[in-house]
A and B are shown apart, each in its own frame.
Chain A
């Protein structure tokens, strides 16, 4: 993407726009809000991760020992799930990278509603602190799925507190989604047609559609749950004339699309990194954008695949199974197109690219094992076992977290104005990859063997595989602490980044690192597609350097 007008250099960047606490807490600059989100989700990530670590320690032996009671284990996995889903995964790429990059990538000065954007962050923080308080002081033992009638009539933990927190944070999702949709429609700069939108922007757009359409259903479901728990209004409990399966329908009507909120943004990041480090245009741009939208829409009609053994009718099961097979096709398109993007490229293996390659491999495994779960014949065996746990961690952690880390490394020079240490970056990426596979691969085997999920004690013959998984988790923990450490240190000791250290084509690279508060000194004009790279030119340029 070329700029017709060159940016004027030596302009005050957004980080220098103010140093006081107030300048951060009352900022309406989308870039600063992105960083506020980054700090908050990092905090929540490590809280959720700590819970996972304790759980893995407990699961080293078949008997309960590390934690004194099964209830503490139950509270921990609830905390892990609730925090990771709503306070890390869902906001992760959209709220951090999306906030920071979306306006710059389309040549805008800010989001359409900057103050609403700040409000989103405050709502997120209020919801987050409430949930964290409830989960840590007291605890909730329903799992992140809040299944009734356990959550409505039987659990004597603070279910309402947690539900209110999740309810609140939902508004933050809705507002962010709304903001992104309006921004993409109305704020594109001259020449930025829909066919020239970077795929990252398309992914944010598709994600926002889901956030806006699905989150209200979650809010309604939680409100109904609260009405039943507090006032005994009979909605889900059969004793009051309700239907517990109805809750599952409502819950998954939101939560399945939410799964795509936790992966589409990852697709977006990978679609930026792969062309840049292969120095060529993305293969099948239109199919890539189309696949994002197809997934977002078809993702709304597959929710029943979580309920094949819940007492749903056989015919409903058949329809949901078929649709689940179909929703796999656009994901397949993406993987094939990324692979084809490597063809005739000029490939470099910098840290972001390592994460991107790791993402593609792990997401492919996660996605393909979804076929096992979508198969009606096999689902009754693997449902609610560690097979499912392994499957969705391959997508959420192997996929989304890898993409997030890849994105953070890729755009770190832009976000912070500093370079991260490349060698440490590669080392951490490798550690994450090895640790991840050691943690979660054995869980596929455990699941097929029949180990149910959410257990505090298990049959002795499952121990060896569980020990492997725990060993992997400790490696993974190191892999996550490393980037935290070196990225923070790079803020002080890292070398200064140039405007475009990767020689990338996106608009965000045509302005300074870090960008000025108004993003561009002069409004940019776009004259070509988003990935105007040339592998041959890259080869020659490199040759010239030697």
Chain B
């Protein structure tokens, strides 16, 4: 019973950085706490009623001292701020070559889908030593993807993609929690992250589950939903071809616009094009595309995006 942990395991590159900042902040905290406590104890003992010490003319203020305890803490704070913020930059921005896993949160589970097509629930298997980026969205309320061993978390919002990345450094099984209160079974919205040797991971990917990649599943969906009817080569309606769109700058007109302006065709743009086609109309086209708001789930949307990304521009579209 007594060998309970007092400090969490460290299993990612980010975890080391975060702990480093944490220790620096703790050092500052202990310094100030120590300072105040020692002054406290000294004064309380020395100046308690009845001691024979010099009490004449207690100072009522001292500008130099006041300025000192504004300026010194300010300098220390700014140093801490710079350190903590630089680490945050690294935590926030995923490297370009990260392995992307899609996450959909719903009450009360996380569904995860690997680009190779494998799906898991409340479990995430990842290879060691490779940056992994989670592309996340919620189907209902706000959830939060939290892996203490990686020292990071990010909320999953309805209607908007958010991302989180980490690079695992230690093989093992770690906790996965939902950190944002989401109703009845919030405390049970939890699971595990398995960090594996790359070879084990390849084997894991192969056993069970579909071998159809996410992009392929998206392509199938694209046909099944008749997107191709308009966007395909034999067009019934005049609609843009989607090859090379992802990752490009698209000229669009918003309501009331006279001249088009360019927006980056990313997940957000593709998602909105499918759910709210009238919001941003590709310049030179009629607003003929129907909204798929009530027909496609978040899982389907992510598949379609994976497909459109796979025929898009740039190195991100390599798969």
Footprint of B on A, CB under 8 Å? 64, 69-71, 74, 141, 143, 147, 149-150, 154-155, 237-239, 244-245, 278, 280-287, 309-311, 314, 317-318, 321-322, 325-326, 328-329, 332-333, 335-337, 339-340, 342-349, 357, 360-361, 364-365, 368-369, 371-372, 375-381, 383-385, 445, 448-450, 452-459, 461-465, 535-536, 538-539, 542
Chain B residues with CB under 8 A of A281: 58, 60
Q: How far is the CB of A232 from chain B (nearest CB, A)?
A: 15
Query: Taking A74-B183, A368-B33 as contacts, is the C-beta distance between A381 and B152 under 8 angstroms?
Result: yes
Query: Could you jot down 13 A-B contacts, CB within 8 Å?
Result: A70-B186, A149-B158, A155-B183, A311-B155, A332-B32, A337-B66, A339-B39, A342-B39, A345-B58, A372-B22, A449-B6, A464-B1, A535-B47
Q: Which of B56, B60, B182, B185 has the most CB of A within 10 A?
A: B60
Asked if B28 is an interface residue, CB under 8 A from chain A, the answer is yes
Asked if B248 is an interface residue, CB under 8 A from chain A, the answer is no
**Which residue of the partner chain B has the closest CB to A157?**
B183
Chain A residues with CB under 8 A of B160: 238, 311
Report yes or no: B8 in contact with A449, Cβ–Cβ below 8 A: yes
Cα of A369 to Cα of B39 in the assembled complex, Å: 20
**Which residue of the partner chain B has the closest CB to A313?**
B92
Cα of A365 to Cα of B160 in the assembled complex, Å: 38
Report yes or no: B88 in contact with A450, Cβ–Cβ below 8 A: no
Report yes or no: A309 in contact with B25, Cβ–Cβ below 8 A: no
Report yes or no: A450 in contact with B25, Cβ–Cβ below 8 A: no
Report yes or no: A364 in contact with B33, Cβ–Cβ below 8 A: yes
Chain B residues with CB under 8 A of A244: 142, 157-159
Report yes or no: B81 in contact with A321, Cβ–Cβ below 8 A: yes
Cα of A343 to Cα of B29 in the assembled complex, Å: 23
Mark each residue of chain B from 72 to 96: 1 if its CB lies under 8 Å from any CB of chain A, else 0.
Answer: 0110011011011111110110000
**Which residue of the partner chain B has the closest CB to A345?**
B47
Question: Would you list the 3 A-B pairs with minimal beta carbon distance, nearest first?
Answer: A450-B148, A238-B159, A377-B87
Chain B residues with CB under 8 A of A380: 18, 88, 91, 151-154
Report yes or no: B60 in contact with A285, Cβ–Cβ below 8 A: yes
Which size class do B's interface residues fall under? 35 or more
Report yes or no: B154 in contact with A450, Cβ–Cβ below 8 A: no
Q: Which of B172-180, B212-220, B280-288, B306-314 contacts A (4 or more CB under 8 A)?
A: B172-180
Report yes or no: A329 in contact with B158, Cβ–Cβ below 8 A: no
Chain B residues with CB under 8 A of A385: 179
Report yes or no: B37 in contact with A361, Cβ–Cβ below 8 A: yes
Report yes or no: A278 in contact with B47, Cβ–Cβ below 8 A: yes
Chain B residues with CB under 8 A of A238: 157-160
Q: How far is the CB of B43 from chain A (nearest CB, A)?
A: 4
Chain A residues with CB under 8 A of B295: none
- 6 further contact pairs, Cβ within 8 A, besides A314-B89, A317-B88, A464-B1: A70-B186, A337-B66, A344-B47, A375-B84, A450-B146, A452-B187
Query: Taking A317-B88, A336-B69, A339-B40 as contacts, is the C-beta distance between A449 and B148 under 8 angstroms?
Result: yes
Chain B residues with CB under 8 A of A465: 4
Chain A residues with CB under 8 A of B73: 328-329, 332
Residues of B23-69 at the interface with A, using a CB-CB cut-off of 8 Å, are 25-26, 28-29, 32-33, 36-37, 39-40, 43-44, 47-50, 54-62, 65-66, 69
Asked if B301 is an interface residue, CB under 8 A from chain A, the answer is no
Report yes or no: A542 in contact with B155, Cβ–Cβ below 8 A: no
Residues of B1-19 at the interface with A, using a CB-CB cut-off of 8 Å, are 1-2, 4-8, 17-18
Chain A residues with CB under 8 A of B69: 332-333, 336
Cα of A245 to Cα of B142 in the assembled complex, Å: 10
Q: How far is the CB of B123 from chain A (nearest CB, A)?
A: 15
Report yes or no: A378 in contact with B18, Cβ–Cβ below 8 A: yes
Report yes or no: A71 in contact with B54, Cβ–Cβ below 8 A: no
